[in-house]
Structure 1
Amino acid sequence: MLISDEKTSIKDLSGFRTDIKNLFDGWNAAPYVQEENLFPAEFLKALREIGALDALLSREEGGLDLCRTPEGGLVLMTLLRRTGYVSLSLGRCLEGHVNVVRLVELYGTYEQRRAFARLLQSGILAGIWVTDGVPPVTIRQENGQYRLAGIKGFASGVRHVSVALITATTQHGHSIMLLAPTTEANRRRAGPGTLTGMQASGTGAYDFTDVIIPSDHILGSAGDYLRQPEFSAGAWRGSAVALGAIDRLADLLRQELLERGRADNPHQLSRIGEALILQKTAVMWVEQAAKAAYAPRMTPEDVVAIVNLARLAVERAALELITLVQRSLGLSAFVKGKAVEQVMRDLMTYLRQPAPDEALTDAAAWFVDHDWPEESL
């Protein structure tokens, strides 16, 4: 790969999967204690050192096609899942970074893809900030360049992201994507308030007023951000991150019951069994969604429907698991500062994704008249 000498050389998907396993096994051997309001920069550095951010790029740019191929997608699932296990906050930021890589690969020109790859290989973190603040972000042409105005809110990792993919509304009311620098500290603003969970993600806002964007930073065409199947299919990556937190909750439940000497209680055994069913159900749904997102012969409608159902299945598994953990551990599960309490709170916040009812009914409506595409998976 085209990475610096300080990083581990990645030769193929199998070798990179081994690097992921070794990294996370090392972190879990000495459990990572995350301060609730502190961005997990140390762990992000560890991911950089094994070449995880570079591996996301295409093979032409020295990467491993994690955002392009079915085989790469399954390795990406492992990376996101294991990151979510350690830190949901970092998982959110990493998933956003992946989203930007994917959109640039889909909608960027050859020159844009090359330039963006070189930028990422310098080690920066990218973000995707599409939720408008007050006022919303607009764009207007000016002397061959573009001038922005307005604020983006819910900007995850606002102090650590160096470039963001954002949407902006043109004078004609069209929504376009663009890449904008985000390193000016005086443009950072307070976020929407103190969230119940996910505080380590450093969610804030960023004021783009009077930022000048060259024309080659405009990505794709008007409306591309909402274009299907990618707009909905990308949700599988968020489900993979949430799956990591489900894994950790199941482990924390077993560990605490073993430490208390309560793991052989028949009622607790029943809950452990139910927890394992929920965990493995979530695994199967995320694997189906990851395969669908990269399936070469699947219709866009099938992809969107499968990913939407997977997203909701993972949400349901997570919420039911949280209830089991609370019943099993009692008040100790509500002691602020304990790992189990923070993971549950972060996970409940992380799961709040938009339009769940619409996602469910749209998927159901599609499969009323269409069979499940088993052969395409």
Structure 2
Amino acid sequence: MSASLPSPTIQATTPAEDAAAQLAPRLAAQASASDQEGSFPEQEFDWLHAASLLTAPLPIHLGGQDLAAASQTPSLLRTLRHIGRGNLAVGRVYEGHTNALQLAQRFGRTEQVARWAEDAAAGHLFGVWNTQAHDGVQLEPLPDGRYRLRGSKTFGSGAGHVTRPLLTGALPDGGWQMLILPADVQVPQLDKSFWQPLGMRASASFRVDFTGLEVGADDLLGQPGDYYRQPWFSGGAIRFAAVQLGGAEAVFDETRLFLQKTGRTEDPYQRQRLGELAILIESGQHWLRAAAEHAMRPQATEDADTTVAYANMVRTAIEEICLRTLQLAERCVGARGLLRPEPFERLHRDLTHYLRQPAPDAALADAGRFALASTSPAYTLWHD
């Protein structure tokens, strides 16, 4: 009698990812209406709020689902992937919301986190605005213990709608300080003319001027330099990679639907391309599962160098998967599929633009640097 093999472990889904999966088709159906320069998917974020996704990154005792905890990384990445396949602009802003709440919990004081949790429950959108304009943000200490802001950020995704942006700014001594601005009270000036993009038009990523606004000490988050602490700064790349892969999955689905509608499923070359696309999408999902496992290692924080190098390898692999997906999909649908109102046209623009994340060459070189410095054999290089 042969020994029975153990049953494969099926990872249970969470309420957050179930809600995101159910919302994805609605987001996709609404995406063309939101795809206007300078617009923002307000209705879509009302849906996310109603589905408790704005509070999902918070700990359970503060009304959330603990989605930002390291132990929930698989669920977080799947949630982001689902929202990305619904609408990449929504995914981009929601990823920033999640990132801000993660940083708030990691570096904030107990009373601060409780206050910001109440804000998220009330529907406030958080985000992370770090990219400095030529007149980057500076914090000027005032005699009463408050701080006056001066300068601007660019690529402020969700500007005008994100009411709790997490900013970074320079202190007089050169320190780099985080703060969360109550932007519904201290209202910054928006330069919408900055945002004339190829894709991601609905993300409203404007230039934002904070000159003259004031914040208190309770608005400061953590200590100077905390924002760039590793592995969290670079390791967070797996979040936007998850959103990007969701966009690639949407491209796959629309390409297949286009071929089915046009009666081209019997073409052997189309079948070959769909086979390649299927391999790419499944490869991306394997990368995200591995990324989640790597981020959950007990030593992930202490072994920051390995964690960052692996995250850089993941973002590089997902970028290549997405670029190859776009190339194959273009050949499948041809010129006709690139015409509006076909969804493929918008998906192509949005994903192409979103893939341009900062320093892609440096990210790949960092993974290579780590590999060159190691003496471990390949089979234990990333998983000891």
**Residue 210 of structure 1: SS of its match in structure 2?**
coil
1:343–1:27 distance in 2 versus 1, CA, 3 Å: closer
Partner residue, 1:259: 261
Using the size of structure 1 for normalisation, the TM-score is 0.91
1:248–1:163 distance in 2 versus 1, CA, 3 Å: same
Per-residue CA deviations over 1:193-217 (Å, capped at 9, x if unaligned) read 4111100101112211111110111
**Residue 126 of structure 2: SS of its match in structure 1?**
strand
Counterpart Cα distance in 1 of 2:224 and 2:88: 32
> After the TM superposition, which residues 320-359 of structure 1 pair with which residues of structure 2 at under 5 Å, given as runs?
320-359=324-363
Partner residue, 1:36: 35
Per-residue CA deviations over 1:14-39 (Å, capped at 9, x if unaligned) read 344433333335666x6754432132
1:105–1:337 distance in 2 versus 1, CA, 3 Å: same
In the TM superposition, what is the alpha-carbon distance from 1:293 to its structure 2 partner?
Answer: 2.5
Partner residue, 2:6: none
Letter in 2 for 1:80: L
Partner residue, 2:5: none
Partner residue, 1:200: 202
**Residue 54 of structure 1: SS of its match in structure 2?**
coil
Contact 1:154–1:191 (CA under 8 A) maintained in structure 2: no
Counterpart Cα distance in 2 of 1:167 and 1:16: 29
Counterpart Cα distance in 1 of 2:26 and 2:130: 35
Counterpart Cα distance in 1 of 2:268 and 2:159: 47
Letter in 1 for 2:68: C
**Residue 307 of structure 2: SS of its match in structure 1?**
helix
Partner residue, 1:115: 115
Match of 2:313 among 309, 313, 324: 309
Counterpart Cα distance in 1 of 2:90 and 2:25: 17
Partner residue, 1:361: 365
Contact 1:68–1:294 (CA under 8 A) maintained in structure 2: no
Counterpart Cα distance in 2 of 1:66 and 1:339: 31
Provide the aligned length of Structure 1 versus Structure 2.
362
Partner residue, 1:6: none
In the TM superposition, what is the alpha-carbon distance from 1:148 to its structure 2 partner?
Answer: 0.6
Contact 1:197–1:342 (CA under 8 A) maintained in structure 2: yes
Counterpart Cα distance in 2 of 1:27 and 1:212: 36
In the TM superposition, what is the alpha-carbon distance from 1:185 to its structure 2 partner?
Answer: 5.9
Counterpart Cα distance in 2 of 1:250 and 1:367: 33
Counterpart Cα distance in 2 of 1:48 and 1:161: 13
Matched-pair identity in %: 33
In the TM superposition, what is the alpha-carbon distance from 1:318 to its structure 2 partner?
Answer: 0.6
> After the TM superposition, which residues 282-297 of structure 1 pair with which residues of structure 2 at under 5 Å, given as runs?
282-297=284-299
Per-residue CA deviations over 1:264-290 (Å, capped at 9, x if unaligned) read 111000000000111111111122222
Counterpart Cα distance in 1 of 2:293 and 2:257: 32
In the TM superposition, what is the alpha-carbon distance from 1:333 to its structure 2 partner?
Answer: 3.2
Structure 2: give runs of 5+ residues left out of the alignment. Answer: 1-11
In the TM superposition, what is the alpha-carbon distance from 1:251 to its structure 2 partner?
Answer: 0.6
Structure 1: give runs of 5+ residues left out of the alignment. Answer: 1-11
